Structure 1
Amino acid sequence: MARFYPVLEARHRAFIAAQKLFFTATGTAASRINLSPKGMDSLRVLSDTRVAYLDLTGSGNETAAHLAHDGRMTLMFCSFDADPLILRLYGRGRIVRRQDSGWAELRCHFPALPGERQLIVLDIESVQTSCGYAVPRYTYAGERDTLARWVDKKGPIGLLDYWREKNQLSIDGLPTGLLEDA
């Protein structure tokens, strides 16, 4: 039922493009594993071996801390409609921040989204598909506007203050590097 591929094929790219939700998983040898849902049209396939997503402000910044210390990352997409499928991308992730030289080149692939924090790039080492037969069916009801309202209320200075207070260390005390050289 499960099958591995060395690169993204056209059908994998089409499946990814159709998804409204994906999950990221990261960890280090000594940290808790982090699993986070993502959405809001924030992911782009850059090539058959590379994807990136625009990371938005959240209550923590575990992914950045884990990638800085380990680099291993898995993205998972799953179908919630009539055709079951789970697609996983295994690879090495890295962070690209506003102050980094590669920011503008990558940022242009994404729409404006509220609370933009950093870009996450995954260099894919393998692609896996599996059946997804036990995944329930759900109907997409739309995007939430909660983050946009929260960011508007915070304003640019309030958002920066929030990053300083909440997004500098992981829950295990690992630095995220979010505001380094900013």
Structure 2
Amino acid sequence: MGKVYEKLTDRLRDFISAQPVFFVATAPEQGGHVNVSPKGYADTFAVVDDTTVAYLDLDGSGVETIAHIRDNGRVTLMFCAFAGPPKIVRLFGTGRVVTPGDAEFSGLLTLFGPHPGVRSVIVVSCDRIADSCGYSVPFMAYEQDRALLDDWAGRKDVQQRRDYRAKNNRESIDGLPALAAEETDPVRQHS
């Protein structure tokens, strides 16, 4: 049976940190598309405190999470075991987008491993932390991270990344604003 927690216990932190992938779900306030994004690279997720987590947002083909969080703040992160005992952990909360122009950005970067193509840091204040069984989640073997996203971002110079973000990351698929013009300037440092 599932349980609701007041904070991220050591057991939950251990479980979360052992998962090679997690999923982020958001939706716009009015109509539009619900979005679920898989996230990899174990060193892009961090527990900040007992009820706050953060993850590194890297360049990508879409910008739904940023647009939805800026629209209404609602976000859910889900971790599920594909190996070992069956378990699912969901972190429900309010997210905020921290971009390179924000004062706390540099400090947050220290929580993560080195990655090119850093777009922002998503910080989530959890108002519900819950687990459930995961009995129907299949066993799958983790082989390794795909380096393709880092490789892609590493091949782009500053102007190419600026152009890509200006073309693909200014608004969501539903037309919600995402990255402002001044936020499409790539970070000149790795995380």
Same fold (TM over 0.5): yes
TM-score, normalised to structure 2, is 0.91
Equivalent residue in structure 2 for 1:110, among 102, 109, 112: 112
Are the equivalent residues in 2 in contact too, given 1:26–1:35 (CA < 8 A)?
Answer: yes
5+ residue gaps, structure 1, are none
Q: CA deviation at 1:108?
A: 1.0
> What residue number does 1:28 align with?
28
> What residue number does 1:135 align with?
137
Query: What letter corresponds to residue 38 of structure 1 in structure 2?
Result: K
Q: Deviations over 1:139-165 (max 9, x none)?
A: 111011211221132222111110000
Query: What letter corresponds to residue 39 of structure 1 in structure 2?
Result: G
Q: Which has the larger displacement, 153-162 or 11-20?
A: 153-162
Are the equivalent residues in 2 in contact too, given 1:80–1:138 (CA < 8 A)?
Answer: yes
Q: Which has the larger displacement, 106-115 or 60-69?
A: 106-115
How many residues are treated as equivalent by the alignment?
Answer: 182
Query: What letter corresponds to residue 70 of structure 2 in structure 1?
Result: A
Query: 1:46-61, aligned counterparts within 5 Å?
Result: 46-61=48-63
Counterparts of 1:180 and 1:125, CA distance in 2: 31
Are the equivalent residues in 2 in contact too, given 1:57–1:116 (CA < 8 A)?
Answer: yes
Q: Which has the larger displacement, 141-150 or 97-106?
A: 141-150
Q: CA deviation at 1:29?
A: 2.6
Q: CA deviation at 1:99?
A: 0.6
Q: CA deviation at 1:176?
A: 0.4
Percentage of pairs with the same residue: 44
Query: What letter corresponds to residue 13 of structure 1 in structure 2?
Result: R
3-state DSSP of counterpart to 2:150: helix
Counterparts of 1:55 and 1:178, CA distance in 2: 16
Query: 1:63-78, aligned counterparts within 5 Å?
Result: 63-78=65-80
Q: Deviations over 1:62-86 (max 9, x none)?
A: 0000011100100000000121100
TM-score, normalised to structure 1, is 0.96
3-state DSSP of counterpart to 2:157: helix
Q: CA deviation at 1:178?
A: 4.5
Q: Which has the larger displacement, 14-23 or 26-35?
A: 26-35
